[in-house]
Each structure stands twice: as C-alpha cells, then as structure tokens.
C-alpha cells in the first residue's frame, strides 16, 4: 500500500478515550465557573423583577382607591379645625390705620382699571385722558366722583380742557373696591384730602347709581352737575382708626 494512503495508528499516536475525557473534564470546569460579562450587558436579577412587581401592585391599589385616599373630606372629619399651637393663636393680619389700608386696596384697583389711561402718575396725556392731580372732579363732592367711576362719562367735559368719553369702571366692582379707589385718588399723586371714603358710603353710591333715571348709561356733565354734586351719606371714619387691612372693617369688629 502506498505511503500516501496510509493512516496513522490511533492506538499508537492518540489515546482517544483519554483525550475525550480531558475535554469533558474541562467543559465541566467551565460550567462551574461564573460567567464574566461585559459592563452593561449583565442579566437583570430575578429579584429586581419581583421587587418592581410588588411596587406596581401596591401603587395600583393606592391609585385605585385614590378617590377616597386623597379626599380631604374622608381624611379629616367634618368641621375639622386645626388647633393652634399653645401661645401661637392666629390673630389674623395686623391692623392698619384706615387711610393707609384703604389706599393700599385702592392702589391695586387703580393699577388694574385706571393706570392704562391716566398713567402711573395720574397726569393723563394732556389731550385724550385728563389729569387727576388737583382736579375738582376728583377732590370735590364724593357722590359725583362715584358716579363717574361707576358709570363713566360721555359728551364733552371741561376741566380747563375739553375731553371726550370715559368708559364705566363699575362692572364687577365691590363696595370695598370703590371705597378703596376713591380714597386712593383723593389722597395720592399730590392730592391730600385726608379723608376716607368708607365702605358704607360706597354702598350708598352703588345704590344711587342703580336708581339713576339713566341707569346703565354713561353719565354726562349736565347730569353730574345738576344731580350729584353731593357728599355721599355715611358715618365719617377717622383716618387713624385701626382696621383690618383685608376686609377694611374696624379692628374691634373684625371677625
């Protein structure tokens, strides 16, 4: 037989059984070793899945019962009022002198309703919008000023110059708002009447406005001059009287 076709004698050169046994032993050793994986691709622990499942179950239960759990009415008993800590009873806002409190209220109303036309200094623009500084319409009789604020004005109005229409500002205005804005413009911007237009006076003004013959329409210079050159009815309030800065009620009567 040619030497090219000859095969090695396995029994002489390789012990097959021993070789296979060695492979089996090495494979078993590899299985026993903990597999080292690259960072970021390690398998997630089963305990992580179990923990997340428990959390989701609890969260689902809470949200499912949320209508009662987060309801103030079911969390606290009806008419519940928290008791103040000893020595720390809530006495409400610190009282202020009436003039300062009313003006503080009025400054907010002025910024919202008047600032756009009359300006932050209340001097107007000299042509379309009149100045409120030193104006007889502002510093004069309170009923006339109240009618202007509540109903606006139409037709020519003369105050050294002739002006046109002023839109009504009384829509949505409370007696507190009206009292505040009137007191504010009469005692600011260089004006210094020193008086307080009270809530009682403002309520009277709203009633007078509603009872006008032309109720719902703008007032005119003629109407204001003939019918409203008056002082609003109501008890005069000392500007130094201490009042609640929120309700404007006298401090002794404040709730």
- Distance in angstroms (rounded) separating the CA atoms of residues 142 and 243: 22
pLDDT at 203: 97
Q: What is the mean pLDDT of each run of 10 residues along the chain (255 residues)?
A: 53 58 71 65 78 87 63 62 66 88 96 93 88 93 97 78 85 96 97 95 97 92 94 96 93 61
pLDDT at 93: 84
| Residue 74 Rama label (left phi>0; alpha psi -120 to 50; beta) | alpha
- Distance in angstroms (rounded) separating the CA atoms of residues 184 and 149: 13
Cross-strand pairs, 53? none
Angle at 157 between CA 154 and CA 161, to 5 degrees: 140
- Quote the DSSP letter at residue 12: H
Q: Which CATH number fits domain 96-250: 2.40.50.140, 1.10.760.10, 2.130.10.10, 3.40.190.10?
A: 1.10.760.10
Residues 180-197, buried b or exposed e (16+ Cβ, 10 A)? bbbbbbbbbbebebebbb
Q: Domain segments of the chain: what residues?
A: 96-250
Structure tokens at 1: 């037989």
pLDDT at 192: 92
Contacts of 229 (CB under 8 A, 6+ apart): 140, 141, 143, 144
Q: Identify each DSSP E strand in the chain by its residue range.
A: 96-97, 157-158, 162-163, 242-243
Contact 82, 229 (CB under 8 A): no
- Distance in angstroms (rounded) separating the CA atoms of residues 186 and 179: 11
Contact 233, 201 (CB under 8 A): yes
- Distance in angstroms (rounded) separating the CA atoms of residues 215 and 224: 13
Structure tokens at 225: 């001059």
Three-class secondary structure of residue 43 per DSSP: coil
pTM: 0.64
pLDDT at 185: 97
- Distance in angstroms (rounded) separating the CA atoms of residues 102 and 33: 85
pLDDT at 201: 98
């Amino acid at each position: 037989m040619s030497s090219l076709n000859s095969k090695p004698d396995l029994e002489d050169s390789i012990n097959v059984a021993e070789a296979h046994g060695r492979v089996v032993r090495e494979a078993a050793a590899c299985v026993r070793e903990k597999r080292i994986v690259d960072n970021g691709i390690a398998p997630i622990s089963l305990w992580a899945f179990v923990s997340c499942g428990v959390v989701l179950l609890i969260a689902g239960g809470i949200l499912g019962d949320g209508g009662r759990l987060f309801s103030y009415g079911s969390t606290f008993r009806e008419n519940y009022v928290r008791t103040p800590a000893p020595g720390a009873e809530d006495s409400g806002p610190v009282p202020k002198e009436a003039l300062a409190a009313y003006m503080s209220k009025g400054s907010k109303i002025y910024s919202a309703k008047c600032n756009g036309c009359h300006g932050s200094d209340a001097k107007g623009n000299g042509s379309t919008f009149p100045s409120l500084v030193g104006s007889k319409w502002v510093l004069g009789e309170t009923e006339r000023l109240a009618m202007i604020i509540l109903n606006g004005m139409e037709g020519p109005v003369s105050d050294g110059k002739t002006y046109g229409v002023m839109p009504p500002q009384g829509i949505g205005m409370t007696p507190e708002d009206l009292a505040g804005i009137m007191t504010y413009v009469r005692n600011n911007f260089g004006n210094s009447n020193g008086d307080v237009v009270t809530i009682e006076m403002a309520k009277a003004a709203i009633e007078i406005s509603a009872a006008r013959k032309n109720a719902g329409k703008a007032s005119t210079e003629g109407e204001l001059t003939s019918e409203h050159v008056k002082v609003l009815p109501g008890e005069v309030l000392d500007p130094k009287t201490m009042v609640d800065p929120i309700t404007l009620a006298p401090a002794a009567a404040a709730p």
